[in-house]
Amino acid sequence: MAEPFLPFTRPTFDEATLTGVVDTLRSGWVTSGPRVLELESALERYLGGDRRVRLFGHATGALEEALRVIGVGPGDEVVVPAMTFAASANVVLRVGATPVFVDVDLDTRNLGLDAVESVRTDKTRVVMPVHFAGLPVDLDPLHAWGRQHGICILEDAAHAIGARLAGRPIGSFGDLVCFSFHANKNMTTIEGGAISLPLDRTDWIDGLERLRFHGLRKAPDGSYDVERAAGKHNLSDVAARVGLGQLVHLDAFNRSRLHLAARYFERLQSNPWGLGLPARGDDGHAWHMFTVRIPFDRHGIDRAEFQARMRGLGIGVGMHYPALPPLALYRERCGWQPGQYPNAERIGRETVTLPLFPAMTPTDVDRVVDAIGQALGIPG
């Protein structure tokens, strides 16, 4: 009997969450309401520190409105890693600013301060570090540099809920930190996101509340005024109830991911296929993804063929991500030249994402590793 297909990710929901969603539907209040407020408070307690959390319908909207509340617009520059998802750069363009790409480390996939400093100009308003795959960026020197130059650090922490840097939860410190709760993330609200920001930045907090719901300011009697032409990014109570059920298990989910990643390292450390393994980090790594680099040229196949062979063996393999600067939109806007971002471009050519989610077992990891050998035609 064939083993079931193993996707590269899959969310886990307990019965209490399913029951809670039904109860929310039956309550008659399904859009933004008491469950949203409850999840915001629960996330504030989870992160700790003097923080406020505001939920959004998706992390892309959270990033975009974070840029707006900072005041970023035409003529401004935002430093973005060349290896990240398109949303990180798209939101910069959407507010009228210019993304300035920097290369990343080959193994961590994260940007570093030296690269950021090399592109700083008098137009640089924001640096957007991305905690790639849940591995925290080295933030302390970056924050100190930002304070020195009056530059805001807007963290794209889409991969990093539950990650820790020197024992501190990502989102418990810093300027603005944006999380994603998409279906493939370490905790999910199906679609959704959040911004963590300092408790004393009441101007940012108030601005984000306006920006996420039509620019409205409501009065106690239910009347309202419109203060700006804003969009709509509110999260529903149904989605928030899913998030409440997920947050209870987040640390356990992340421990499972850590143990599965350790099994991957155990099996792949001395692999015969020339795989480039990700930086291991420490126990603060959230392990949203386990990405490896495969030298496809050496093996005489391309990534599409490798993915097809893995599917034929019952294994789903993702691709996270192509380098951003060579893609059509940024190539035209930013004038990319081949080899300009050598690490990001190499990662983009060689990267594959192996299955990693809490319901997996070490035996599943062994199955994936054995399948890699079969797909590449070289036994492990």
pLDDT digits (tens, 9 = 90+) for 111-154: 999 999 999 999 999 999 999 999 999 999 999 999 999 999 99
Mean per-residue pLDDT over the chain, rounded = 97
Q: What is the dihedral of CA 80, 81, 85, 90, to 10 degrees?
A: 20
- pLDDT at position 1: 61
- pLDDT at position 95: 98
Marked catalytic residue, from 123, 185, 218, 232: 185
Using one digit for the tens of pLDDT, what is the confidence trace for 246-261?
999 999 999 999 999 9
- Sequence-distant (6+) residues with CB within 8 A of 352 are 291, 292, 293, 294, 303, 306, 307, 317, 318, 319
Give burial (CB, 10 Å; 0-12/13-18/19+) of 110.
Answer: buried
For residue 378, pLDDT beyond 90: no
Structure tokens at 119: 């592109």
- pLDDT at position 2: 73
**Residue 119: DSSP 8-state:** T
Using one digit for the tens of pLDDT, what is the confidence trace for 203-245?
999 999 999 999 999 999 989 999 999 999 999 999 999 999 9
For residue 380, pLDDT beyond 90: no
Between CA 312 and CA 308 the distance in angstroms is 6
Band of residue 49 on the pLDDT scale cut at 50, 70, 90 = confident
Query: How many beta carbons lie within 10 A of that of residue 166, not counting itself?
Result: 10
For residue 352, pLDDT beyond 80: yes
Using one digit for the tens of pLDDT, what is the confidence trace for 290-323?
999 999 999 999 999 999 999 999 999 999 999 9
| H or E element, residue 115 | helix 113-118
Between CA 153 and CA 259 the distance in angstroms is 31
- Going from the C-alpha of 339 to that of each of 162, 228, 301, 373, the distances in angstroms are 35, 43, 22, 30
**Domains in the chain, CATH or no CATH each:** 15-243 (3.40.640.10), 249-376 (3.90.1150.10)
Q: Residue 23 phi/psi, 5° resolution?
A: -60, -40
123 is catalytic: no
Alpha helices in 225-341, H assignment, sequence order: 237-268, 296-299, 303-312, 328-334
Between CA 196 and CA 226 the distance in angstroms is 25
- pLDDT at position 240: 98
Mean pLDDT of 17-40: 97
3-state secondary structure (DSSP) of residue 131 = coil
Using one digit for the tens of pLDDT, what is the confidence trace for 58-113?
999 999 999 999 999 999 999 999 999 999 999 999 999 999 999 999 999 999 99
Q: Residue 305 phi/psi, 5° resolution?
A: -65, -40
For residue 360, pLDDT beyond 70: yes
Mean pLDDT of 150-167: 98
